[in-house]
Amino acid sequence: MSWSKEQMVRRAAAEIHRGEFVNLGIGMPTEVANHLAPDLDVTLHSENGLLGMGPFPTDEEVDPLLINAGKQTVTALPGASTFDSAFSFAMIRGGHIDLAILGGLEVATNGDLANWTVPGKLITGMGGAMDLAAGARRLVVLQSHISKDGTSKLVTTLTLPPTARQCVSRVITELGVFDPAGDHFSCVERADSVTEAEVSRKTGAAVVFAFSPAPTNSAG
């Protein structure tokens, strides 16, 4: 069985290390904020000018003036600071973000990322994706394995306009965890009951399996 969205988000949260400064992209990555252990001492950054972002607010905590880059209301932890976008992007471009977790449209085997536009589709702009992909010290992409039309989103070469080149360290999908490895993807973890054959069939590039989960006991 493939991972649910919540399981994908929880797996992405496991990529965050103690004391890191982390940016969470729009969409599924924003939900990672709800799955961080308090003792990790992680500082969340939002490119619209917030450092020290907390989880999504309860109804009683909602402040319409406190939002993330996706215009969702958020909370601010004790000690948080706000500043203008120019200062925020200077932090990104200066290499001060340890980890960015972004959504993706395509990832290639060499780590190229496309996540900002599909030709012919209306968009609002790139936002901070290009800066984060190029400026973060490590980039994890959290996305579905295949698109709605059944096309694989893990490919040998990008077919969509690139966001940044050779920037992706790891991809997490509903089928497992994949590291770009030059001319193939290295599957370092598979979701429970997902087979190697299924992964290979749904991936638009070669896959090398570096990890296989322990077999489950099917005895009844």
The CATH number for 154's domain is 3.40.1080.10
**Residue 140 domain flag:** yes
**Residue 216 domain flag:** no
| 120 against 178, higher pLDDT | 178
Contacts (Cβ under 8 Å, ≥6 apart) of 72: 30, 56
Q: What is the mean pLDDT of residues 6-30?
A: 95
Q: How confident is the model at residue 214 (pLDDT cuts 50, 70, 90)?
A: very low
The active-site residue, picked from 15, 31, 47, 189, is 47
Give the count of domains, the chain.
Answer: 1
| 220 against 115, higher pLDDT | 115
| 220 against 44, higher pLDDT | 44
**Residue 73 domain flag:** yes
Q: What is the mean pLDDT of residues 103-115?
A: 96
**Residue 219 domain flag:** no
Structure tokens that stand for 173 in this block: 């999908």
Q: Which pLDDT value is given to residue 39?
A: 87
Segment 165-188, tens digit of pLDDT: 999 999 999 999 999 999 999 999
Mean pLDDT of the chain: 91
**Residue 186 domain flag:** yes
Q: Which pLDDT value is given to residue 210?
A: 86
**Residue 220 domain flag:** no
**Residue 214 domain flag:** no
Question: Considering the chain, what percentage of its residues have pLDDT values greater than 90?
Answer: 81
| Closest listed residue to residue 72, CA positions, set 106, 28, 26 | 26
Segment 48-77, tens digit of pLDDT: 999 999 888 999 999 999 998 888 999 999
Q: How confident is the model at residue 163 (pLDDT cuts 50, 70, 90)?
A: very high
Could you give the CA distance from residue 205 to residue 190 in angstroms, rounded to a whole number? Answer: 16
For strands 21-24 and 43-46, give the pairing.
parallel
**Residue 205 domain flag:** yes
Model pTM score:
0.90
Q: Which pLDDT value is given to residue 215?
A: 38
By residue range, what is the domain housing residue 37? 5-209
Q: Which pLDDT value is given to residue 151?
A: 96
**Coil, strand or helix: which one is 182?**
coil
| 214 against 108, higher pLDDT | 108
Q: In the chain, how long is the greatest CA-to-CA distance?
A: 61
47 is catalytic: yes
